[in-house]
A and B are shown apart, each in its own frame.
Chain A
Amino acid sequence: MPLSLSDSTWYPIASAEDLPLRHVYQGQLLGRELAVWRADDGNVNVWENRCLHRGVRLSIGINEGGELKCQYHGWRYANRSAGCTYIPAHPADAPSRRIENKTYPVREAYGLIWSAANSDLPFAPFPGAESGDWFALRPMPVNAEPADVLTALAGLAPDDQPADVLPGMGLRLGEVTYFVQPVDANRSVIRGLLAKRPENEAAALRAHNETLTRLRDRLERAAARKPAPAALQPTFDKVSVELSTMPDIVIPRGNTMPVVVKRKWQTADGVVGFELAARDGHLPTFQPGAHIDVHLPNGLIRQYSITNGPGELMSYVIGVKQESASKGGSKVLVDTVREGDVLAISEPRNNFPLRRDATRTVLIAGGIGITPLLSMARFLDKSALPYELHYFTRAGEQVAFRDELGALHGKVFIHTGVPRSEIATSIATTLGDWSRAQHVYVCGPSAMLETVRVTAAAQGWPDEAIHFEYFKNDKVIDDSTAFDIELARSAMTLHVPSGKTILEVMRDAGLTVPSSCEQGACGTCLTGVMEGEVDHQDVYLNDSEKQSNTCMMTCVSRAKSARLVLDI
């Protein structure tokens, strides 16, 4: 029977021990080449063996433990989702989370790695699978048709004890269970399993290897005498233009998804950790610095940074500050949400992307600001890139995520109880003078962000080397002006009176415009400006971006000119 590209059967494609950590195995099933790799968390990934960028084999790439890095232009893809997490040619941008490599279903069981050409069939153990303590023989590749290999294996059985046929090109022959992996029309791998570990392992493995070698040589001599069937011709799905182009700096709000509060714990005095797990499978790809919107039981939406390291997609861990003064946001999470509750979250978005091409990366966290920087440190750590993490808290008890910080290999400095007057000096010493390809990332209270910005600027750090994310906008918004907005794409001119925001006016006119924090901190309502002078009142854009006068946050910022033309 000829092989079919759409055969949904699960076949073994590797031995479990073929996949040591930090290795990429090259496999093939039904004509499709596979890059197979085990992440540091043990998860096995089976991906199409080509980088979405230039088609280079990912099997020659680098397994970094949580991400696979293509050898050609360094695109990185996350464990589990195969989502692209970093594009070196765009070091300052967050790649579209929608760029995802093709994955195949995978199951590790009975000493073997199993996969299938598609997900049409659920994985089903072969008969008797659950009763064995399986021990894999050395796999034997054979240049012959899979059906012929199966027939030849059956021929090894003595006449009075014929082989039991198992589903999925399997056979049981005395103590050995064999599977034929259909690599291609004229290529196979024989994968044998013993139901228990033999007493003399080495001798048993050698003996079976000899038997299979003789069988292989016989099969290949026979195969050479007849015309070889044509190799299978799998097609490769093209990546759509939409998915392959760089996204705008902000992806409009998508649908929410439910997550279960798997764990809630006091990670430090005043900080509660929440582990939010997917209800089924894994969560979407995120990049270091990314945050999610959490929809709270009282209807509020709040942003929290993901603290996870690369390829950790089974759950997101966030840190929430316990604030007595907090009005309904964090307080609701801390007081009323319990383990087992279901919350709605947005897909991750990243307004705080991490460059991975710096010669020196300085991460400065104040208090709860540790959350995005912990994620950044973990990514840099896995890729063995140099970094320094400085974490300022008022007291030692307030140091959150101590275990996670302790697991890092880089330079981690915890500064507790530094008097406010000395923080600037401490930061100045930490930063030093700027030189090329040095970057600083800071997250914490507004005063601290200002200190880092001012100190860094005074020591020669340019704007593009200072990266920050504000939690909230402490500025008093001046909404006294009145002006017109011309919406270029919507062909509409609207008047914004004093006391109303641009966002409100647009919504009143029936437009659907994404927004989230509505205080000029989160970046969701970022809009392109084509004409007119903007009166920036947000804390999201940096000074260079504000001076460029090409974009604005419509939730708080206004116009200095009588008219603004917006790209909306």
Chain B
Amino acid sequence: MGSASTQMTITLYDFELSGNCYKLRLLMSILKLRYDIIPVDFYPGRQHKADWFLRLNPFGQLPVIKDDELVLSDSGAILAYLAKKYDETGLWFPDDPAITAEVLRWHAIADDITATSSSARLVLGMFYEFDLEKAQQGAHRIFRLMDEHLWFGEREGRDWLCSPDHPTTADIACFPYVMLSEEGGISRQDYPALRRWTDRVRRIPGFVVMSGIFPAGRAAS
């Protein structure tokens, strides 16, 4: 176990407008980790397909992180790594096998949210040629299920995606492209419980914003 004071040098290969990079900035802010940023011009520069970047991640995807000499890619995998390595409370990626499975299930759903909500945003914001309607419908299908899960969670006293009474990396992984869905033309009006959950995520101590994601203001005292 390391700690913030003895941590090695973390470098984030980052695109400011990427929700997947933001997931890492968010967790590192919450865990009070210091890190350097190397900007990668995803759009319009397509630097994530440049040779130098493909040597870091042959799949050509952001984000990539370097912790000393260790190079890691995939936002969900890195969230798990950062939590297991630097979160001394053990809350963000709990060790309990059943809860680990729960968290990983939502990490997978987070990837589905990226494949749908983020794709729609790439069509409308960065002129990618994906099937917009299919992406939007896919996001709505996931949001419906999330809203139902969170609505019943509120009734059962569960505020977060997984069963512990605190947020986990599952919440961090799913949050950005839920919150950015309007940029892909996906309204969240029909998902009131999902909207309330985004308030709760935005009130986690250490929360930071990115373009398109606004603060929620204080909770009632």
Contacts and interface: CB of A to CB of B under 8 A. Distances in A.
A139 B195 CA distance: 14
Given A23-B196, A25-B192, A206 B152 contact: yes
Interface stretch (B21-29, B111-119, B167-175, B210-218): B210-218
A138 B196 CA distance: 15
B53 interface: no
B98 interface: no
Given A205-B152, A209-B148, A18 B218 contact: no
Contact of B196 (A20, A40, A65, A139): A20
A21 B220 contact: yes
A163 B51 CA distance: 68
A514 B110 CA distance: 64
B199 interface: yes
Contact of B156 (A20, A33, A62, A202): A202
A14 interface: yes
Given A139-B192, A409-B221, A23 B215 contact: no
Interface in B150-172: 151-152, 154-156
B195 A25 contact: yes
A384 B219 CA distance: 11
A62 B189 contact: no
B188 interface: yes
Given A25-B192, A138-B148, A62 B155 contact: no
B220 A40 contact: yes
A202 B154 CA distance: 11
Contacts of B215: 62
Main secondary structure on B side of the interface with A: loop
A291 interface: no
A23 B188 CA distance: 14
A89 to B, nearest CB: 19
Chain B interface size, under 10 / 10 to 19 / 20 to 34 / 35 or more: 20 to 34
Interface in B172-213: 188-190, 192, 195-196, 199
A202 B195 CA distance: 22
Given A139-B192, A141-B190, A63 B217 contact: yes
A209 B152 CA distance: 10
Interface string A26-67: 111000010000001000000000000000000010111100
Given A205-B155, A209-B148, A28 B189 contact: yes
A27 B217 contact: no
Q: With a 10 A CB-CB cut-off, give which of A64, A69, A138, A201 has the most chain B CB atoms.
A: A138
Interface residues of A, number: 31
A14 B192 CA distance: 9
A71 B155 contact: no
Contact of B219 (A18, A22, A209): A22
Contact of A60 (B190, B192, B214, B219): B214
Contacts of B214: 60, 71
A23 B199 contact: yes
A65 B219 CA distance: 9
Nearest to B218: A384
A27 B218 contact: no
Interface in A128-167: 138-139, 141
Interface in A68-106: 69, 71
Nearest to A382: B218
Contacts of A26: 188-189, 192, 195
Interface of A: 14, 17-18, 20-23, 25-28, 33, 40, 60, 62-65, 69, 71, 138-139, 141, 189, 201-202, 205-206, 209, 384, 409
Given A21-B219, A22-B216, A22-B219, 15 more contacts: A22-B218, A26-B189, A33-B189, A40-B220, A62-B216, A63-B217, A64-B218, A69-B217, A71-B214, A138-B151, A139-B192, A141-B190, A205-B152, A209-B148, A209-B152
Q: Which 7 A-B pairs have the closest CB atoms?
A: A62-B217, A21-B220, A141-B190, A26-B189, A71-B214, A22-B220, A18-B192
6 contacts: A22-B199, A23-B196, A25-B195, A40-B220, A71-B214, A138-B151
